[in-house]
Structure 1
């Protein structure tokens, strides 16, 4: 079986498990249990492998951390927490709890205590903010799992057994990315089936990859990457795939306002083997309470911020003097925060960096304050490219979004427009950009030259004359795929059809006349 076939088989198994287990629990809510227990298995195996390898290197080849006593394990707690950021006693490891789960009437209490102990193991250390509250959404006492303790434990046993049965490899085999792949697949399927309630926190993988590729063109490594509305972290983690996580030297930074999704993002980092010292994910409102003042500027910024949400805007007199927004001389409308996110990212972008932002299409042409912000961006030559994406790519919406690419150091005084609205195939209930289509878009971005009906490099002066409208359709004419009609041939065919109709009517009249007589 090929690697691709193995992955497809894993995906089918995961989704079947998720559907079998879900029962009466809403899919988007139930994901917290499946993903949380998947994470629990991951960190148990990760920790066990880490400790075992250290012992094996000293010559103790038969050592197995999962089989020693808790008292023996306590001796290595301090050093291990410094290295891994957390600690789990052998009796609390996933494999040991799962093995005895079926006959354990106190399973829910035991799991709750284990999750609290894992979080508490980081108290007072550098990893504390990365572990705090990580299991909050895995509520093992929730009525969603059942009305009685017995029913809840029965459901928990099913989840533990199902997650234990997944063929994810282990860390002795260096099969690290299997957990991350399983997470990404589950998030994709849950978002697809949850509609807006789930999809607004998840960006399709092919779009995530395109954004990451755009921001690192010509670079083999960057210092820091950032997403101010990071959701479950899929955008940030594409840098690990595109560059390799070792080539993001100072780490992955993000902020998320939704507490549940914030927890998912941190779990996602661990599942992709990004250790606590390499990520800094915070919780809060980026626009009014940004958490990374001491970490900016960033070499690469990617984001899919929420579309046209409300924010304080000019109702907060402090914001117009905020160094992120002040340069434009105007704030984004209170009812549409899109360009507030854009200005925030521009402010925190390194001089040699690139930002790629998924935007609601209205920001390209709406008037008022948004037009004034576009004027600031164009007049200062910060807009590098505008890419029109196909419709119906994102979960929870069918609109055709776009990508705005920002740079502070450009070689020309022009903006590249790319019309990728036709670059998709239908996959299930959504459109999807294929690998070849993604590469076509990326190549057009890199080449930065005119391509009939697809790409055009437009001088900023021309955009100014067009009232700072940066909608792609204003500059790229779509190809006319309609066939030319020969009027003479059409008239001849119509005449032939009319003649044939008359002949048929005469024949039918004759038949009817014979029948009547």
Structure 2
């Protein structure tokens, strides 16, 4: 199955599930998102289990009717089957599969059977697949979906409709491949929940081109046993791209995010991308106020943090001494108006710097205004990066590379072992092709442009109108500006001409000026005449 086929199939299923919700009065309801994501989670767990069961048991692999063959296994055979599977594979009982429910959809109290099945799967797999909160409590895998229907008489029919939509095909073919387009699916899923300006979920999704560029720049040699972290993970696009570059078996994923929705999506993403072993490291928490990994240092950190957010409720707590080392550059003040404009991304940058180990590397998406701010927290952060020798380079991206926001963004590349005499500053703002996506315009990098950015950065090349290579001293002399444009040479083209050609050009300039002066004088005369004709009435 190709990427395009999978995306098309998944979008079709999303539309089908949305149709079911609409038919039962939940169209664009706040619970619609939960229903669709949890049905997807059940579908992926179901298909993953079946795919692995067929690999472990030849009779199941060759069976014409898998569900019947599974139900015919003895208790001993079933235990042996589940024991033989990789520990990070979800475990189902024969009466937990979608096929089992599909075959019993006409039974009485089907809604209860549906809910009981999801609850049992949650309990049986809670050690692996539940996401922990900062307090240690675990979010359950599934809600009782039938209860979202207020009319109890409609619950059985609602659950039957959901099962019928997911029982007709399998995602099995996709599990042998790496799918870096996961965010595309969920961007499509939540498009109706976002406002025209991008919505509150917009920060979860980073364009794949940006994610790939970050991963290809950060990882340039084989790695093993490394810890990878995202303090504002969203659905995990950046983590997935980095893990694929490192190798899923060579890294452990760690993440934090305050959103339960994004934690659910990330859990799905880990299952899809052969990283289920890292699910216990996915924490739902407030990274700035109550970080779960404060004492852990990481080899790689990637982040596209929210840029603006009201954190005035816990700002005073951040002023306490225990936070001073982490937030060395300071904490944004609470504005008198528009508290939502507080620059919370500055807190994330400082948190990331604090969380790197002695050889750590990081890539952080920031608003481009950060790289040239003349004073304040922004400049203090840049000064420390330069004075400590941690800046490897900066890539300023094209405008509108994020479909949901027009904010210009740049990517900071940090490296505790950076070469301080060859810092790469790149202005890629002129690259890309403009495409229209709904009401928004988006800039898309071609594969060639993407590779050009990566190769130029990694080779530390100076390319006219694209990149410069400078030292930490040169940056300090420019008020710690990270903008490539401030280091480009101003080039003046000189053309050799004869004395006669020079005189001819000067005569032409003089004649043009004489004509323009004469025209100006005539216009001035007409204006004065018209002014004299004006009368008060």
TM over 0.5: yes
Quote how far apart the aligned CAs of 1:304 are. 0.3
Q: Which residue does 1:54 correspond to in 2?
A: 56
Q: Which moved more, 1:279-288 or 1:456-465?
A: 456-465
Give CA deviations for 1:126-168 in whole Å, capped at 9, x if unaligned. 665579435346733214xxx5245454444333323333453
Aligned pair count reads 472
Distance in 2 separating the partners of 1:72 and 1:46: 21
RMSD of Structure 2 on Structure 1 (CA): 3.7
Q: Which residue does 1:268 correspond to in 2?
A: 269
Give CA deviations for 1:197-234 in whole Å, capped at 9, x if unaligned. 33222222222222222211233556121111000111
Quote how far apart the aligned CAs of 1:112 are. 2.0
SS at match of 2:139: coil
Distance in 1 separating the partners of 2:275 and 2:361: 23
**What are the equivalent positions in structure 2 for 1:374-385 lying under 5 Å apart?**
374-385=382-393
Contact kept, 8 Å, 2:90 with 2:125, in 1: the verdict is yes
Distance in 2 separating the partners of 1:300 and 1:315: 28
Distance in 2 separating the partners of 1:224 and 1:382: 19
Structure 1 spans left out of the alignment, 5+ residues: 481-485, 496-517
SS at match of 2:167: helix
The match for 1:398 among 402, 406, 413 is 406
Distance in 2 separating the partners of 1:17 and 1:90: 26
The match for 2:43 among 29, 36, 41 is 41
Q: Which moved more, 1:307-316 or 1:251-260?
A: 307-316
Q: Which residue does 1:509 correspond to in 2?
A: none
Structure 1 residues 63, 104: closer, same or farther in 2, change over 3 A?
A: closer
**2:39 corresponds to 1:32:** no
SS at match of 1:356: strand
The match for 1:431 among 422, 443, 446 is 443
Distance in 1 separating the partners of 2:245 and 2:218: 10
Structure 2 spans left out of the alignment, 5+ residues: 335-341, 493-504, 516-537
**What are the equivalent positions in structure 2 for 1:296-307 lying under 5 Å apart?**
296-307=296-307
Contact kept, 8 Å, 2:63 with 2:69, in 1: the verdict is no
Quote how far apart the aligned CAs of 1:468 are. 2.2
Contact kept, 8 Å, 2:224 with 2:251, in 1: the verdict is no
Distance in 2 separating the partners of 1:392 and 1:105: 53
**What are the equivalent positions in structure 2 for 1:181-196 lying under 5 Å apart?**
183-193=182-192, 194=194, 195-196=198-199
Give CA deviations for 1:429-468 in whole Å, capped at 9, x if unaligned. 2222222221111112112121111101222223223322
Q: Which moved more, 1:459-468 or 1:15-24?
A: 15-24
SS at match of 2:35: helix
Q: Which residue does 1:142 correspond to in 2?
A: 148
Distance in 1 separating the partners of 2:35 and 2:297: 36
**2:366 corresponds to 1:359:** yes
Quote how far apart the aligned CAs of 1:6 are. 3.6
